Structure 1
Amino acid sequence: MFQIMLIEDDPSLFQEIRERLQQWSYGVYGVKDFGNVLQEFTAVRPDLVLIDIQLPKFDGFHWCRQIRAHSNVPIIFLSSRDHPTDMVMSMQLGADDFVQKPFHFEVLIAKIQATLRRVYNYNTERVELRTWRGATIEYGRNTIAAERGTIELTKNEMLILKLLVEQKNRIVSREELIRSLWDNEHFVSDNTLTVNVNRLRKKLEDLELDAYIETKVGQGYMATEEVQVL
């Protein structure tokens, strides 16, 4: 049974979400102290976190930062606010998805299932190594290492890099990337992919590899590799 940590301060909404999730055989843990969310997260070690943005004491962005400093657990934001900057901010902080309130529970369940399937099926694959531009990519550990050091990527960032590197020197369409990341592109903003790619590039700057993820306007993205001439 997957354990979901639900960080929601509206008692009636919390109860409704919990009952729906339990119908799908998910375990649900509700935060008891909104001033010590990280402490409870560390104790519970959930498989996925659902978190509202507007919370007592500290907002969801604060707790997302705190969790991301310690864990790559998948995080899905819930929010009644309709500012596009909220979605951008959540993705920049390392969230895996964003659900706008009010929402259909079928959509929420679909996003949870897609995220869990992507993260935990992906983690159970055997460790694979790939080289790209002199760097070593270890898919099973979500790391990429080069002479300048080693960086750790989130699940989404690694999946984007994997898709691009496996088809290096070829344009991978935005639609293909979105389908691979979120299963159902109908519920995903095109801007969400842009934010994730930008986050990946930002991390690759430390290895001086960011320039080799090229944007092909109106088409998609491409990981370039020098072609060896024999």
Structure 2
Amino acid sequence: MFKILLIEDDVTLFQEMRDRLFQWSYEVYGISDFDKVIQQFVKIKPDLVIIDIQLPMFDGFHWCRMIRSHSNVPIIFLSSRDHPTDMVMSMQLGADDFVQKPFHFDVLIAKIQAILRRVYNYNTEQITLKTWCGATVDYENNTVSNELGVIELTKNEIFILKKLIEQKDKIVSREKLIKSLWDDERFVSDNTLTVNVNRLRKKLEEIGLGRYIETKVGQGYMAVEEDY
């Protein structure tokens, strides 16, 4: 049974989501003290976190930063605000998805199931290390390293990089990436993929690899390889 931590201060919404998630055999935890979210996160050790943006004490962005300093656990943001920048900020902070309130519960369940399948299934593959452009890509520990250093990637970022490296020197369409990431593109905005790829490229630039992820306008993305 997967454990879900729901960081939501609306008691009515929390109870409704808890009951609905329980019907899908998820174990749901809430926050009793919004000044001690991280302490409760560490104690619960959830498999997935759902965070509302507007919260007491500190907003969801703050707690996302704090969680990311401890863990790469999948994170879904909830927001009742109609601000495109909220989604962009969420993805830049390392969230895996974003859900606008009010939402249809079937959509949320589809997102949760897709993320859990992706995160907790693909790591069982036998191949965990890959050499690319002189760097070692560790799919199990979500890192890329070379002589310039080591960078840590989120679950989405390492998954995208893996898909591109598998088809290196070939264009991988945006549609294929979206379908691979979220199983059903109806539940994903095109902008979400763009934010994730841009964040991945920015991290790779720290160790001199950003230029090896190319954008093919109107087509998709390509991981190029050089001889080492």
The verdict on a shared fold, with TM-score over 0.5 as the criterion, is: yes
- The runs of at least 4 aligned residues of structure 1 exceeding 3 Å deviation read none
Amino acid at match of 1:7: I
CA contact under 8 A between 1:115 and 1:182: conserved in structure 2?
A: yes
CA contact under 8 A between 1:52 and 1:77: conserved in structure 2?
A: yes
CA apart distance, 1:21 = 0.3
CA apart distance, 1:113 = 0.6
Q: Following the alignment from structure 1 to structure 2, what is the Cα–Cα distance between the partners of residues 176 and 227?
A: 27
Match of 2:151 in 1: 151
CA contact under 8 A between 1:126 and 1:140: conserved in structure 2?
A: no
Q: Following the alignment from structure 1 to structure 2, what is the Cα–Cα distance between the partners of residues 6 and 125?
A: 30
Aligned-pair identity (%): 75
Match of 1:46 in 2: 46
Deviations 1:88-128 (A, max 9, x none): 00000000001111111111111111111110112333342
| 1:75 corresponds to 2:55 | no
CA apart distance, 1:184 = 1.2
Q: Following the alignment from structure 1 to structure 2, what is the Cα–Cα distance between the partners of residues 58 and 70?
A: 18
Match of 2:86 in 1: 86
SS of 1:49's equivalent in the other structure is: strand
Q: Following the alignment from structure 1 to structure 2, what is the Cα–Cα distance between the partners of residues 106 and 33?
A: 29
Amino acid at match of 2:124: T
Q: Following the alignment from structure 2 to structure 1, what is the Cα–Cα distance between the partners of residues 112 and 128?
A: 26
Amino acid at match of 1:219: Q
**Unpaired runs of at least 5, structure 2:** none
**Pairwise mapping of residues 30-179 of structure 1 onto structure 2 (< 5 A)?**
30-179=30-179
CA apart distance, 1:152 = 1.4
TM-score, normalised on structure 1?
0.96
Would you say how many aligned residue pairs link Structure 1 and Structure 2?
Answer: 228
Match of 2:206 in 1: 206
CA contact under 8 A between 2:133 and 2:227: conserved in structure 1?
A: no
Q: Following the alignment from structure 2 to structure 1, what is the Cα–Cα distance between the partners of residues 218 and 179?
A: 17
CA apart distance, 1:143 = 1.3
Q: Following the alignment from structure 1 to structure 2, what is the Cα–Cα distance between the partners of residues 205 and 11?
A: 43
SS of 1:141's equivalent in the other structure is: coil
Q: Following the alignment from structure 1 to structure 2, what is the Cα–Cα distance between the partners of residues 226 and 90?
A: 33
CA apart distance, 1:206 = 1.4
Match of 1:220 in 2: 220
TM-score, normalised on structure 2?
0.97
**Unpaired runs of at least 5, structure 1:** none
